[in-house]
Copies of this chain bind each other. A is one copy, B any other.
Amino acid sequence: MFSANTYSERRQKLIQSMDSGLLLLLGNNDSPMNYTDNIYPYRQDSNFLYFAGIDIPQFALIIDIEAGTSTLYGNDVSVEMVVWTGPQASVRDLADKAGIENTAPLAQLAGDLAKAKSGSRNIHFLPPYRFENKIRLSHMLGMDLSSINDQASLSFIKAVINLRGKKSEEEIVELDRACSITADMHVAAMKVCRPGIKESEVVAAVRYEALKHGGDVSYPVIGTIHGETLHNHHYHHTLEEGQLFLLDAGAETDTRYAGDMTRTFPVSKSFTTQQKEIYEIVLAAENRSIEMLRPGITYKEVHLEAARTITNGMQALGLMKGDVESSIAAGAHALFFPHGLGHMMGLDVHDMEDLGEDHVGYTDQLKRSTQFGLKSLRLGRELEEGFVLTVEPGIYFIPLLIDTWKKEGTCAEYLNFDKLDAYRSLGGIRIEEDYLITSNGSRLLGKALAKSIADVEAIRNS
């Protein structure tokens, strides 16, 4: 938690950027796993955390724009509850730590909202993503549950994105820490990986590093010999000589800031020649992307340059062909690189995704593409100083996708389908790092982590 002043200033900036009404922020409650009381690890809502700093369930915040003050809604804990939870700070103490002026019992929230509504005050809220909060909002505001997300306040959404998008110095300290722990997680995986063990054993070593520091992972770990499956959360395969292991894993600090990195390394001590060919293309695309990072460039340009580097590389291997610019315009590279180059990162690993990917990553002028591949680019807009983002190109050989494109003749003039057979079981390679946009370029977040073939093989042989 930062100082009370930090949270007060954030709320003041928010108030200044809004016209009138109440800003309602519902904190997250515990989330049931297989029955009500067996809960998932608690995760506070990131917007609530950003403006109220309180990382405990059963709270809500109202910011009154005209009054310029805020009220924290929550309940003090009874003696009988202390038996189960231990001593807890009072609502008043928690409010003081975040510079919040007023407190009230949680049961008063619905009444206060009803009163504001009957006084014709505008009640702004952000789009709920947890079903419990959808229900709570629907009940308290008397709105239809099925359309509750459509009633969220666009001006509130945009004001929050403007604030959270640019990271402060104290946030960057936390993001650096998250990324350094993330680097440790990847080194642990590279050290433990060996033929004969299961993916789950590598993932366990990765999770150990994240947990040891008092946080956890910032998203479900992808740790697999099937890197061609982009969101693979199963860990039951046994590792074999000659395979590639793709690890996409990031730490979440105890302050809830995220890291997000990917490395791909051989299960054997070294890469095969074929693996090296593809790896070098991905690495070139990543390095070229990083060179381009600066305020003023659109991330869509950077994404397309990564696509260009991949297309050039695949043409050199004889896997693609034809005019490069036409090939990129047609989206032929998306057979191998079907996702976006990256996304914003902060308190959320896809930062502020709950507020709407297009609001975060696009503008009224720059709309998201509908083309396969490019449509998965979460961040397209102009970069600004203080943005934090991931750079994560990849090349994948997805048998079903290759077969489908071949059968349907998709982008056939740019693809040498016959030559692809030799690469069919290679899997997938992705390299991902996290960068801060500075005044004139960018800076890597967290400590350096091996990414060249030589450096990765050095760890595998250490």
Instruction: Please give the residue numbers on chain A whose beta carbons come within 8 Å of chain B beta carbons, in ascending order.
Output: 28, 31-43, 45-46, 79-80, 82-87, 129-132, 134-135, 145, 198, 200-201, 203-205, 207-214, 219-220, 226, 228-233, 235-236, 254, 338, 347-350, 353-354, 372, 398, 400-401, 404
Contacts and interface: CB of A to CB of B under 8 A. Distances in A.
A236 B32 CA distance: 24
Given A212-B204, A220-B41, A235-B214, A36 B129 contact: yes
Nearest to A230: B84
Contacts of A134: 131, 135
Contacts of A254: 236
A366 B219 CA distance: 46
A361 to B, nearest CB: 13
B201 A212 contact: yes
Contacts of A87: 400
Nearest to A46: B34
9 closest cross-chain pairs (CB), A and B? A86-B229, A131-B131, A204-B211, A35-B354, A204-B212, A35-B353, A131-B132, A200-B214, A40-B40
B79 A400 contact: yes
B208 A204 contact: yes
B226 A86 contact: yes
Nearest to A47: B34
12 contacts: A34-B45, A35-B129, A37-B350, A82-B401, A83-B230, A83-B338, A84-B230, A131-B135, A200-B212, A203-B211, A204-B212, A208-B208
Nearest to A405: B79
Nearest to A372: B80
A34 B346 CA distance: 12
A232 to B, nearest CB: 6
Contacts of A85: 229, 231-232
A112 to B, nearest CB: 21
Considering residues A80, A211, A372, which has the most beta carbons from chain B within 10 angstroms of its beta carbon? A211
A246 to B, nearest CB: 12
Contacts of A83: 229-230, 338, 398, 401
Contacts of A135: 131, 134-135, 145
Nearest to A353: B35
Contact of A353 (B31, B38, B219, B228): B38
